[in-house]
């Protein structure tokens, strides 16, 4: 793969992590590789959470599940105290107040890019956004006695202001505003993110929906809403795809195409989103891919040196990484990573090509072989730190945060907004109500 026929000047900046010739660079991986194996071997006798069992004549790793941590009484008391202090407000009041505090509605521009704005546009925009989020349509928000909430006005705003680019720009402003909150910075520094999908049945005919017997029964069709959330509990990006696509095909796109000021370097997912190709591409792009390993016993462990002695772990390292499959394509791998990093090729399209069918192209095989190195290191690291549980619990906490965010969005999508009919009109009359 070439970038416009030859490497551009920007290509040098992308290649920062791999300056050495391919053979030398790949040989430099071995000391770090051996260090992880040695550390895992040394910890094995002192790690009660891990053991090796022989199944059908082959050694397999057995990992004990994490014990549930009981909530201390002080945490329960704090939660009850916070809940008691939370005021009961209508949803439109929250949205309007956030609009005033963050100014995110300024990101919504008319389709003609005109600078002039209609009067009381913020009220109309918030009503349209709530109608879409609650899946109700505009009718519950229509008020003929308020110009900003008349049906014709809401339909006009929806048609001329709400688009993918304006929604993305507004979300970028919201992520930046949340990252400035002290409590959000305590939750995390923005360098960790997790990705997961939420699947919906689509009851009408649509070219974007597809059948998936695993999730949609009776030949129903649906879509997958795949999103990325930071450790600050802010949504960084989301992509809607047909329900048939594997999560690993979408993961790279949702990470690379997120436009916010947060740039996470550690990406967590559940088991279904990982493959050898994903490990390889994320490593080339400078990310640390950290999927949760649900069935670690079936995980393959790979070795570079066939004659290396890993002690008790020799029976696990039955597979060998073929460096001679990587070296001829080393520069192509870096060009592929550079093309993805610079946004010159779509990530979803690349993943479709690299993971299409059982017969892999030579380039896809090289990416997968390189990914097996990173996957083995991740698995050893995932196992090696079990005795303090920190690594696995960090992953579990972040994925639970992702699940909680999906549940919240699902409730919004399925909820009825009938109670919003008059509340948005009431909210705009408060002391902080916006005016354009």
Nearest to 48 by CA among 61, 64, 69, 67: 64
Give the bridge partners for 211, in sequence order.
221
Nearest CA among 425, 415, 416 for reference residue 127: 425
- Spell 294-326 as b/e; 16+ CB within 10 A means b: eebeebebbbbeeeeebeebeebbeeebebeeb
Both tokens of 138, joined, read: 């505009």
CB 191 within 8 A of CB 266: yes
β strands within 26-149, DSSP E: 50-55, 58-63
Residue 189 tokens read as 């520094």
> What tokens appear for 57 in the block?
């004549």
pLDDT averaged over 10-residue windows placed end to end, the chain, 436 residues: 45 50 68 77 77 77 74 91 89 91 93 77 94 85 92 94 93 95 91 86 80 75 87 90 76 90 90 80 88 68 80 80 87 86 82 72 89 84 52 71 72 53 54 45
Q: What's the pLDDT score for residue 16?
A: 43
pTM summary value: 0.80
Return the number of other C-beta atoms located less than 10 Å from residue 27's C-beta: 14
Contact between residue 252 and residue 278 where contact means Cβ atoms under 8 Å apart: yes
Pairing, β 235-242 against β 302-303: unpaired
Give the separation between CA 350 and CA 223, rounded to whole angstroms: 21
For the chain, what are the domain ranges? 9-71+274-387, 88-180+416-436
pLDDT score for 435: 43
Burial category of 44 from C-beta neighbours within 10 Å (exposed 0-12, middle 13-18, buried 19 and up): middle
Count other Cβ atoms within 10 Å, centred on residue 233: 16
Question: CA–CA separation, 375 vs 277, rounded Å?
Answer: 10
């Amino acid at each position: 793969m070439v970038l416009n026929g030859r490497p551009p000047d920007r290509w040098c900046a992308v290649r920062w992590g791999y300056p050495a010739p391919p053979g030398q660079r790949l040989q430099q991986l071995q000391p770090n590789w051996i260090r992880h194996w040695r550390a895992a071997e040394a910890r094995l006798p002192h790690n009660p959470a891990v053991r090796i069992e022989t199944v059908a004549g082959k050694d397999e790793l057995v990992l004990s599940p994490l014990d549930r941590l009981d909530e201390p009484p002080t945490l329960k008391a704090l939660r009850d105290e916070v809940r008691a202090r939370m005021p009961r407000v209508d949803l439109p009041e929250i949205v309007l107040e956030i609009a005033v505090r963050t100014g995110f509605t300024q990101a919504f521009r008319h389709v003609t890019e005109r600078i002039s704005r209609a009067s009381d546009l913020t009220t109309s925009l918030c009503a349209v956004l709530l109608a879409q989020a609650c899946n109700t349509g505009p009718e519950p928000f229509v008020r003929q006695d308020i110009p900003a909430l008349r049906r014709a006005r809401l339909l006009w705003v929806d048609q001329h202001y709400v688009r993918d680019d304006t929604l993305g720009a507004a979300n970028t402003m919201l992520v930046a505003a949340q990252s400035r909150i002290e409590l959000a910075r305590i939750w995390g520094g923005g360098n960790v993110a997790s990705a997961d999908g939420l699947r919906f049945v689509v009851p009408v005919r649509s070219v974007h929906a597809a059948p998936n017997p695993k999730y949609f029964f009776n030949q129903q069709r649906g879509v997958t809403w795949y999103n990325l959330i930071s450790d600050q509990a802010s949504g960084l990006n989301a992509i809607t795809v047909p329900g048939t696509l594997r999560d690993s095909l979408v993961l790279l796109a949702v990470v690379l195409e997120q436009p916010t000021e947060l740039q996470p370097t550690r990406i967590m997912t559940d088991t279904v989103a990982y493959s050898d190709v994903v490990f390889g591409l994320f490593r080339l792009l400078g990310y640390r891919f950290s999927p949760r390993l649900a069935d670690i016993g079936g995980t393959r462990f790979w070795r570079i040196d066939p004659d290396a002695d890993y002690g008790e772990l020799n029976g696990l390292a039955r597979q060998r990484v073929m460096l001679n499959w990587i070296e001829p394509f080393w520069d192509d791998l870096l060009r592929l990573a550079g093309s993805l990093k610079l946004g010159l090729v779509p990530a979803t399209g690349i993943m479709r090509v690299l993971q299409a069918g059982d017969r892999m192209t030579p380039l896809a095989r090289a990416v997968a072989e390189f990914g097996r190195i990173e996957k083995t290191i991740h698995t050893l690291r995932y196992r090696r730190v079990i005795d303090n549980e920190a690594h696995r619990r960090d992953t579990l906490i972040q994925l639970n945060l992702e699940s909680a965010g999906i549940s919240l969005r699902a409730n919004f999508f399925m909820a009825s907004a009938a109670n919003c009919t008059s509340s948005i009109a009431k909210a705009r009359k408060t002391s902080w109500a916006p005016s354009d």
